Copies of this chain bind each other. A is one copy, B any other.
Amino acid sequence: MYIGVSRLRVFTDRAPELIEAFTERTCLVDRYDGFVDREVWQSDHDPGQILMVSRWLDRDRFKADMKSEDHRTSHRRIAPDLKRTINLDSLEHMHTYEVVAE
C-alpha cells in the first residue's frame, strides 16, 4: 500500500470551505486502477492544518494519477479565491509513504 499526504494550511475560518471543496470535487480519481480511498484529516489542536490522505495499491499507480489530466481537472475545481488562501505547510508539501506494517 502506498500513501500520498498533502499538508495544507489555511486560515481557520476558511477550513470548512476547503473541506467542502474537497468533498465536492470531481470523483474522476475514484475510477482509477489501483486507487484505494482518500480522506481529509483536520488537526484538532490546529484546525487550519489539513491533510489530504490518499491510498494506492502501489507507487506506480499513485505516480500515474499525479501525471494525469484528470488530476489537473480535479485541482481546477478549487475556486481561485480559496486557492489563494491555501499555504503549503512546507516547501515539499507532498509526502509519500509505504505502509510497512499493520
Q: Give the distance in Å from the alpha carbon of A34 to the alpha carbon of B96 in the complex.
A: 28
What residues of B have a CB within 8 angstroms of the CB of A40 in the complex?
99-102
Q: Give A91-102 as 1s and 0s: 1 = Cβ < 8 Å from B's Cβ atoms.
A: 000011111111
How distant is A75 from chain B, measured CB to nearest CB, in Å?
16
Q: Which of A70-102 contact B (CB under 8 A)?
A: 95-102
Does the CB pair A101–B22 fall under 8 Å?
Answer: yes
Does the CB pair B3–A98 fall under 8 Å?
Answer: no
Does the CB pair A43–B95 fall under 8 Å?
Answer: yes
What residues of B have a CB within 8 angstroms of the CB of A101 in the complex?
19, 22-23, 39-40
Chain A residues with a Cβ under 8 A of chain B: 1-3, 19, 22-23, 37-45, 51, 59, 95-102
